[in-house]
Amino acid sequence: MSTERIHILGVPVDPVTMEQAVDRARQWLKTGEQGNILAVNPEKVITARANPEVHGFLASARLLIPDGIGIVLGARWLGLGRFERVAGADLMPELCAMAEVEGYSVFLYGANEDVNQRACAQLKGRYPQLTIAGSSHGFVTQEDMPKLIEHINRSGAMLVFAALGSPTQERWMQTYMPQLEARVFQGVGGTFDVLAGEVRRAPRLFRALNIEWLYRLLGNPTRLLRQTALPKFMFNVLKTKLTSKQD
């Protein structure tokens, strides 16, 4: 399967598998390159189409995983290829498993102090040999950011997981990656909350059927406004498909 970058509604995405995403990160670690991994879903596509800054964050990212069944279906309908969904919440544990085996340390940045520490504890329980070189809550002020950068560098961590929400985590990476010695950066959104048990992940059946979004909506109806991005995304995909047929 080709992993050449595609564009859905003008927004880039890399049609990679989970294994290919992990291999890409492994390659950066081995060669000493820096790379950041961002997730692309229908909500982010709609935001990027209206916000040049967000579009720029995505366009400059080293790896854009197809995190959202809407992205997978949209690509198929537009004839851009068939590939699987790669959820960021699943990729982070896979990267930790790789880091444990190959001896790379990680740093967790984001969420509040309690959630952050519980997420660290959960990862240590799952991956006993994983070195969590350091961690920090996500409420670091601009004035204290140099201290955080120094803390991450002094920790020796080679992978940094940033759970700051979008587009804050994307902006943070673009701004501070040049000052950091770590090699792999992943924006993980609310994954620390899931690890800490603060937010419950959809049961396996929902994930297998690609309706994890429905489970989250049923559990938290206030997400309805955010979920309107999905029908808007699909409408634009169908509109693009019909327009291209007429051309």
- Averaged confidence pLDDT in the chain: 90
Strand 35-40 versus strand 132-136 pairing type: unpaired
Neighbours of 54 (CB within 10 A): 20
- Region 87-116: mean pLDDT is 97
Q: pLDDT tens-digit profile of 182-199?
A: 999 999 999 999 999 987
The runs of H, that is alpha helices, within 78-167 are 88-102, 113-126, 145-155
Domain extents in the chain: 6-246
Quickly state the pLDDT bin for 231 (edges 50, 70, 90): confident
Predicted confidence band at 226 (pLDDT cuts at 50, 70, 90)?
low
User: What does the pLDDT look like over 16-33, one tens digit per residue?
Assistant: 999 999 999 999 999 999
pLDDT above 80 for 227:
no
Q: In this predicted structure, what is the pLDDT of residue 2?
A: 59
Residues 6+ apart with CB under 8 A from 167: 47, 51, 53, 54, 57
Half-sphere exposure of 218 (CA within 13 A, CB side): 10
For residue 209, the model assigns a pLDDT of 53
Q: What is the pLDDT of residues 119-160, one digit of tens each?
A: 999 999 999 999 999 999 999 999 999 999 999 999 999 999
pTM over 0.75: yes
Task: Kindly indicate the confidence band of residue 224, based on its pLDDT and cuts at 50, 70 and 90.
Answer: very low
